[in-house]
Amino acid sequence: MSRAVRVRVPATSANLGPGFDALALALGWHDVVTARLVDPASGVHRTWVEVSGEGAGVVPADDRHLVVRSMRETFELLGVRADHLELRCENAVPHGRGLGSSAAAIVAGVLAARALSGAGDEKLRNEDVLALGAHIEGHPDNVAACLLGGLTIAWTSQRGARAVRLDVHPEVRAVACVPAAAVSTVAARALLPAEVPHADAARNAAGAALVVEALTHRPEHLLEATQDLLHQPYRAPAMPDSLALVDALRTRGLAAVVSGAGPSVLVLTARADEVARVGEIAGPAGWLVRPLDVDRRGAIVESL
């Protein structure tokens, strides 16, 4: 068993407009988790968690911490005893902003536990990591992008969560516009209707297919591809400022979407001048505007 590991995990943005619960993109904004096991023979039985950056002093510093819970579930699956666990979380990804912070914690926990247990890919393949992470998270989109990097298409089959990874066009970048206040993912999902018009579903299906082509080969189609009718309009009551910013950006020709369940807004572009324009529009309104590269590697594990 390895005694200590470090896991770096990226932020992610799901949906990307019309690709609801299926498409996600890994972003160059990272949390770093360092996990250590102490030999059970030492007689020490405790969980110690230190959090810096996002969530410090707010998230639980014990077995309720999401990274710890994900590690415990993985250890149990692998039949590994882990009485004494020490965890350091250096968080940069904003919490409750639709940028995949929970998926990052889950993926970090599962991969850390796999590495510490010495199980390796033969006992817990990446496909199994995705399935377990999606089970903990409740859906696979952010987990897939966090684990694999790049652009991912995720779905759930009879065998559980599945995903494919695609390389993103080398010129594509993202700009995240992050508000000061969070919005609960549960609250945002609660606003979605049980049924939607068939015409809206058909238009979104075409858009989701075009988003894949735009992000991988033809970024000139990003604005048209990212139009959504299935989830963003219904979430407006929970995040009116986000939808107003999306409209303002799109009116000016920028491919803006609500990032995941919001309230952050993400702009996708292959033009440097558009990155600057996002700041000119969103910055004066009080949004944190952060240009981001696409994370093309996904989660990275390093033994210490």
User: Per-residue pLDDT tens for 48-68?
Assistant: 999 999 999 999 999 999 999
Q: How far is CA 217 from the centre of its chain?
A: 23
Same domain, 132 and 216: no
Q: What percent of the chain has pLDDT over 90?
A: 83
Q: Kindly report which listed range (33-42, 53-62, 126-135, 218-227) carries the lowest average pLDDT score.
A: 33-42
Residue 105 vs residues 10, 102, 141, 227, 280: alpha-carbon distances, Å: 10, 5, 14, 30, 33
| Burial tier of 190 (Cβ tally within 10 Å: 0-12, 13-18, 19+) | exposed
Same domain, 25 and 160: yes
Q: Is the pLDDT of residue 250 over 80?
A: yes
pLDDT of 80 = 87
Same domain, 25 and 159: yes
Q: What percent of the chain has pLDDT over 70?
A: 97
Same domain, 184 and 266: yes
Q: Is the pLDDT of residue 1 over 60?
A: no
Give ∠ CA 270-204-172 in degrees, rounded to 5: 10
Q: Is the pLDDT of residue 298 over 60?
A: yes
pLDDT of 132 = 96
Helices (H), the chain: 66-78, 101-117, 120-123, 126-137, 141-148, 185-190, 198-216, 222-225, 240-251, 272-282
Same domain, 61 and 159: yes
- Rounded CA-CA distance 17/23 in Å is 9
Contact between residue 210 and residue 221 where contact means Cβ atoms under 8 Å apart: yes
Same domain, 195 and 255: yes
Cβ neighbors of 50 (< 8 A, separation 6 or more) are 61, 87, 88, 89
Instruction: Read off the pLDDT band of 123 (50, 70, 90).
Output: confident
Same domain, 30 and 130: yes
Q: Kindly report which listed range (114-123, 171-180, 220-229) carries the lowest average pLDDT score.
A: 114-123
Same domain, 160 and 46: yes
Q: Is the pLDDT of residue 192 over 80?
A: yes
pLDDT, mean of residues 218-230: 97
**3-state class of 83 per DSSP?**
coil
The residue whose two tokens read 């950006």 is 249
Greater model confidence, 7 or 119? 7
pLDDT of 122 = 74
pLDDT of 304 = 87
pLDDT of 96 = 94
Same domain, 13 and 156: yes
Same domain, 242 and 282: yes
Domain that holds residue 68: 4-167+295-303
Q: Report the CATH number at residue 56.
A: 3.30.230.10
Instruction: Read off the pLDDT band of 225 (50, 70, 90).
Output: very high
- Rounded CA-CA distance 33/106 in Å is 11
| Burial tier of 199 (Cβ tally within 10 Å: 0-12, 13-18, 19+) | exposed
pLDDT of 3 = 81
Q: Report the CATH number at residue 249.
A: 3.30.70.890
- Rounded CA-CA distance 16/260 in Å is 7
- Rounded CA-CA distance 92/10 in Å is 10
pLDDT of 189 = 86
Q: Is the pLDDT of residue 119 over 80?
A: no
The number of folded domains in the chain is 2
Same domain, 261 and 163: no
The residue whose two tokens read 């979407």 is 257
Q: Is the pLDDT of residue 109 over 80?
A: yes
Contact between residue 299 and residue 111 where contact means Cβ atoms under 8 Å apart: yes
Contact between residue 237 and residue 216 where contact means Cβ atoms under 8 Å apart: no
Same domain, 147 and 240: no
Q: Is the pLDDT of residue 2 over 70?
A: no
pLDDT, mean of residues 236-261: 96
- Cα end-to-end distance, the chain, whole Å: 12
User: Per-residue pLDDT tens for 24-51?
Assistant: 999 999 999 999 987 666 655 688 999 9
